Amino acid sequence: MSEKKVIIDVGDGAAIPRPEDKGLLSAWWLSFVGTLAVLAYLLIFHPDPYLRLLKFLPDGIVVTFQVTIASICLALILGLLAGLGRISRNRIVNLVASTYVEIIRGIPLLVQLFYIYFALGRIVRVPDMVAAIIALGFCYGAYMGEVFRAGIMSIDNGQTEASLSLGFNRSQTMRYVILPQAWRTILPPVGNEFIALLKDTSLVSIIAVSDILRRGREFASESFLYFETYTLIAIIYLLITLILSKFLSNVEQRLSHYERR
């Protein structure tokens, strides 16, 4: 009766430090403390330009998070729809969802970003940030769809049968029985996608969205301090993803309460 615990690990986010994974956990601490040490060293011993640069970037950090959070919300909604569509018995729904996933997965994100930005620009004038969010949301929705699908499929069919036998219909079964359990399997890869998405928001700096990277480029093009700028930007991205991956690992632990004896 012991079901195998499924961990879907999509490799494009960041490594999530799980307590049972001792090697990764100490790697996390090493990276985190090391990064903080380097940051402290730079700010204390080279306040110019690093402190000046650090004061210049917060607006960009806010924008990066705004784009990430809005995109992930869109991606989660599209991903749930795509995932449910991919396992639907309705052929048309299934075909639409599968085609969406196929097309999106076949086009590089940067190309999608340009395409949606300029294509949308021909029809309606949308703010740059909205175009960025739509492009990222649609792209990640397709990947998220596969995560949802795999998570739902990982739940034993006996759960569905038990629910149906009590008188629940298929959508109630999905809502009360399958999704709450699938969420446990889905959360790690979703967290991973969130981190991957946060990193991919750096692409939006190419269209006119003032995220961390674009703010940095603005600073660098005026001061010509390219090395210093990109050093600090790398440190900031790394710190954010390290903190997020630790946070996700904690959430995962709390969600797994019913797996434990």
Partner 1 sequence: MNVVDPIIKIEHVNTFFGSFQALSDVSLSVHPGEKVVVIGPSGSGKSTLLRTINRLEKISSGSIVVDGHALNDPSQNINKIREEVGMVFQSFNLFRHMTVLENLTLAPVKLRKQQKSQAEKYAMELLAKVGVADKAASYPVQLSGGQQQRVAIARALAMNPAIMLFDEPTSALDPEMIGEVLDVMVTLAREGMTMVVVTHEMGFAREVADKVVFMDGGRILEVAPPDTFFDHPVHERTRAFLKQIL
CA torsion sign for 161, 163, 167, 170 is: negative
Q: In the bound complex, what is the minimum distance in angstroms from residue 92's beta carbon to partner 1?
A: 20
Residue 254 makes contact with partner 1 by CB under 8 A: no
Q: How many residues bind partner 1 (CB under 8 A)?
A: 24
Residues 143-172 that bind partner 1 (CB under 8 A): 156, 158-159, 161-169, 172
Q: In the bound complex, what is the minimum distance in angstroms from residue 179's beta carbon to partner 1?
A: 10
Q: In the bound complex, what is the minimum distance in angstroms from residue 90's beta carbon to partner 1?
A: 17
Cβ(210)–Cβ(47) below 8 Å: no
* Helical segments of the chain, H only: 22-45, 47-56, 58-86, 91-105, 109-123, 128-153, 157-166, 170-173, 179-200, 212-223, 226-255
Nearer to partner 1, 150 or 233 (CB): 150
d(CA 131, CA 133): 5
Stretch that binds partner 1, among 41-49, 82-90, 126-134, 179-187 (CB under 8 A): 179-187
Burial of 87 (0-12, 13-18, 19+ CB in 10 A): middle
Q: In the bound complex, what is the minimum distance in angstroms from residue 156's beta carbon to partner 1?
A: 8
User: Which positions lie near partner 1, rule CB under 8 A?
Assistant: 1, 156, 158-159, 161-169, 172, 176-177, 180-181, 184, 257-261
